[in-house]
Amino acid sequence: MKNYKNIIIAGAVILLLLILPAFLERYNVYLMTKIIILSLYAVAFNILLGSAGLLSFGHALFFSGAAYTVAVCLVKWSLPLWACLILAIAMVIVLSLVTGFLSLRHRDIHFALITLSFSMLFWGVVMKWRSVTGGEDGITGISRMMSLHQYYYLVLPIVVICMFLIYRILHSNFGLLLESLRENETRVSFSGHSIIKYRMYAMVLSAFFTGIAGILWLFVDGGVDPTISHWTFSAVPVIASLIGGPAYFTGPVFGVLVYELALEIITAYTLFWQLILGIVILLVVLFFRGGVVGSFKLLVKGE
């Protein structure tokens, strides 16, 4: 019964997302497209935080790594799009393997700082290698070959499929094993499973779907710049997961929605948006037990 209920809710949400752009202005469609892509970014990140219990501060590495690879291949090397996409996914997998190999033997703050270091190292390369990455100016002039509305209807099914795959993976035996690692890795090791191996699987999966989000992001604005490589962009899925609730699959999605809408509203009325947004995020994290989704479920149950 619960599964049917979830399917009906998911179907209603997808139907709403399909219909809504017809009644919105172009900027709102642009904003919705970005929110959908960031939702995939946050859900992919939460494979590590919510399931494996690993806090990464370096997911911008995979997001921007995929975006920059496609941009460089298209603009600098004039490769066909299919080849650019393959190289981007290959780049993300390599980056995740290297990062995982050097970071997954650690946990907590040590893991977080190592992932942050890799992300900022990539940001430094992006900033200094001007002949390839364009430095501070980034790479522009990338055509999406369709209107924004058409691109929205391309992004939506891709993100829905990716999220469905992530959901199925996290609700498989593999997902249960990741949760066991999060709760008690000693017992998992005693059962004969390799802790490092399964964490590496989680890292590669998380990076793979993050890379897809990065590729989709590239074509929204028709270019890429160093802001998506900076550590602050790695903080976006962290904040979204905390707002929505990392213990729930839909938590990061609601977190992104709250974060982006709050950002849009606050920046429209004040120059001190960072201070106010920080206070809003702090209040949500402190007073909404289990995030927005967790608090809503407690409210429905009357607890």
In a domain, 240, yes or no: no
**Choice between 292 and 44, residue whose per-residue pLDDT is larger:** 44
Instruction: Quickly tell me which residue has 């989704």 as its tokens.
Output: 293
Q: Cα-flanking dihedrals φ and ψ of residue 139, to 5°? A: -125, 125
In a domain, 25, yes or no: yes
pLDDT score of 203 more than 90: yes
User: How does residue 123 score in pLDDT terms, banded at 50, 70 and 90?
Assistant: very high
DSSP string, 203-226: HHHHHHHHHHHHHHHHHHHT-B-G
User: Which 3 state secondary structure label does DSSP give 269?
Assistant: coil
Q: What is the pLDDT of residues 51-60, one digit of tens each?
A: 888 889 999 9
Domain containing residue 99: 21-228
pLDDT at residue 192, as a whole number: 73
Two tokens, residue 92:
């993300």
Give the containing element (helix H, strand E) for 14: helix 2-19
pLDDT at residue 81, as a whole number: 93
In a domain, 65, yes or no: yes
pLDDT at residue 185, as a whole number: 76
User: How does residue 91 score in pLDDT terms, banded at 50, 70 and 90?
Assistant: very high
User: Which 3 state secondary structure label does DSSP give 264?
Assistant: helix
**Residues in CB range of 184: below 8 A, 6 or more apart:** none
Total count of domains within the chain? 1
In a domain, 133, yes or no: yes
Which pTM does this prediction carry? 0.93
User: Which 3 state secondary structure label does DSSP give 139?
Assistant: strand
Angle between helices 231-244 and 108-128 (to 10 degrees): 140
In a domain, 259, yes or no: no
In a domain, 14, yes or no: no
